[in-house]
């Protein structure tokens, strides 16, 4: 029985590790952080579109005022930065909201249009080791999401 539990735990960590590690696009998972394709989030009222320049070849579009993309990752206590890679079709369609580690309704913006680009880093603190839930919520229509990177802040 103990061997079965060890095997199940090993498979679980392997699957979680694969979900949080590198894919196409070159944005590596930082040590102590995470790199997650947004299409691997739990999606509510969203669609996935193909895009030749996207990491993994796909982008997520939130399609309704109740749309969101949610993921929970294990993080250690400390200071982190959140960077969202996305595509803004216009300057009127470049903003969205995030909720992470006690920060609610923080507006983030894709810095330019018609390219997949990273947002400015959003700093947050994990008060203790444990799960960290990130929610990306609709701010403006037609914003497309590619990858999220959570990395420790360098001191």
Q: What is the mean pLDDT of residues 56-80?
A: 96
The two three-digit tokens of residue 120, written as one number: 């400015």
Helix, strand, coil share (%) of the chain residues, nearest 5? 15, 50, 35
Q: Is the pLDDT of residue 152 over 60?
A: yes
Q: What integer best gives the mean pLDDT of the chain?
A: 85
Mean pLDDT for 62-74 is 96
Tell whether the model's pLDDT for residue 5 goes beyond 90. Answer: no
Helices (H), 1-150: 2-20
pLDDT, position 102: 87
Query: How sure is the predictor about 3, in pLDDT bands with cuts at 50, 70 and 90?
Result: very low
Q: CA–CA separation, 51 vs 59, rounded Å? A: 6
Burial of 26 (0-12, 13-18, 19+ CB in 10 A): exposed
Percentage above 90 pLDDT, the chain: 76
| Sign of the CA dihedral with 61 first, then 65, 66, and 69 last | positive
2 — phi, psi (to 5°)?
Answer: -65, -35
From the options 2.60.120.260, 3.40.190.10, 2.60.40.10, 3.40.50.1360, give the CATH code of 2-152.
Answer: 2.60.120.260
pLDDT at 85 over 50: yes
Residue 56 has pLDDT above 70, yes or no: yes
Domain coordinates in residue numbering, the chain: 2-152
Instruction: For residue 33, give the nearest of 92, 71, 79 by alpha carbon.
Output: 79
């Amino acid at each position: 029985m103990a061997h079965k539990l060890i095997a199940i735990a090993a498979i679980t960590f392997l699957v979680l590790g694969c979900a949080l590690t590198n894919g196409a696009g070159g944005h590596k998972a930082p040590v102590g952080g995470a790199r997650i394709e947004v299409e691997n989030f739990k999606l509510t009222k969203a669609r996935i579109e193909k895009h030749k320049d996207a990491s993994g070849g796909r982008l997520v579009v939130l399609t309704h005022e109740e749309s969101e993309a949610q993921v929970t990752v294990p993080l250690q206590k400390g200071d982190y930065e959140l960077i969202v890679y996305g595509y803004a079709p216009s300057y009127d369609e470049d903003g969205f909201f995030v909720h992470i580690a006690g920060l609610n309704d923080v507006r983030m913006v894709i810095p330019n249009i018609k390219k997949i680009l990273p947002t400015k880093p959003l700093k947050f603190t994990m008060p203790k080791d444990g799960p960290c839930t990130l929610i990306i919520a609709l701010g403006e229509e037609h914003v497309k999401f590619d990858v999220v990177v959570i990395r420790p802040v360098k001191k």
